[in-house]
Amino acid sequence: MRIRKKTPKPSARRPPLYFVGYRGTVPAPEELQAWYDREYGGPLTIRADEQATESWSAVHGPWTSHIVIPLPATHIAGLKEQLAWEHEHVGAVAPSLMPPRDMPDTILFAARLARGLTFLTQGTAYDITTNQYLNPSDWQDRSLTHFIVGDHIPTVQSEDEQNHRSWCYTLGLSKFGVDELEMFLAPGLPDQPIRDLLSATADELTRVGQSPKVGSQIRVGTSDQTVAIANHRTAAPAGRMLSFREILLLP
């Protein structure tokens, strides 16, 4: 009697970064490989599991990601309703677990695969960490030729009505195993300088690969700016609990 192999999850060691919703048929691995090589030079290697052909391992140089497309119905029960999707099928892209120094390139690789699957299926990618929906037209502005922090870690502004102040924060640093960043400012003040500082500090932390301790200081990029880590707390701006480090710009 042959034992049926269970359908694998996208990664046993790391949850998916993207869901991809689509209608119709799944693109063949060769289609994704040809698209990737044309866009990014390749060579991309894709191996499908012999006993679970919906499970792919994608490799480009030292970077690997896992794709399951389509996910079985047991994995997406309630997911389409949660995402308000009308897509018939859902796939998932998950990067392999890598050392902190390699995480920016690993995250970039997974995003490229999600971008390719979105184009090839004419579907919608959902960035689980940032709560962003990405249609093919949305990916046009994200060529992903190089790692750009804004492609993966947007900065968000909202109102902290209870404390009568504006709240600016990153959403995406947790992809890199690092706490999100936040800053507060008085109502009515321009938030773009604060968001630029958050983005620059986030870029620095993706290279460090760990959350700084409260009281520590960070020199931001090539500028003369230095920020201090003032506080640590948890909040749920995107519907799930995240850890935040508050930063203050030092004079």
Q: In this structure, are strands 18-22 and 45-48 parallel, antiparallel, or unpaired?
A: unpaired
Predicted pLDDT of residue 3: 34
Q: How confident is the model at residue 9 (pLDDT cuts 50, 70, 90)?
A: very low
- CA pair distance 94, 79, nearest whole angstrom: 17
Tell me which of 49 and 59 has the higher pLDDT.
59
200: enclosing H helix or E strand: helix 192-208
Per-residue pLDDT at 10 exceeds 60: no
Measured between alpha carbons, how far apart are the two ends of the chain, in Å? 73
Q: In this structure, are strands 63-68 and 89-95 parallel, antiparallel, or unpaired?
A: antiparallel
Predicted pLDDT of residue 8: 40
Average pLDDT, the chain: 90
Per-residue pLDDT at 5 exceeds 80: no
The residue ranges of DSSP E strands in 23-173, in sequence order, are: 45-48, 55-60, 63-68, 89-95, 124-127, 132-134, 155-160, 165-170
Helix axis angle, 103-121 to 192-208, nearest 10°: 110
Predicted pLDDT of residue 239: 81
Q: How confident is the model at residue 12 (pLDDT cuts 50, 70, 90)?
A: very low
pTM of the full predicted structure?
0.89
Q: Give tens-digit pLDDT for 180-219.
A: 999 999 988 999 999 999 999 999 999 888 999 999 999 9
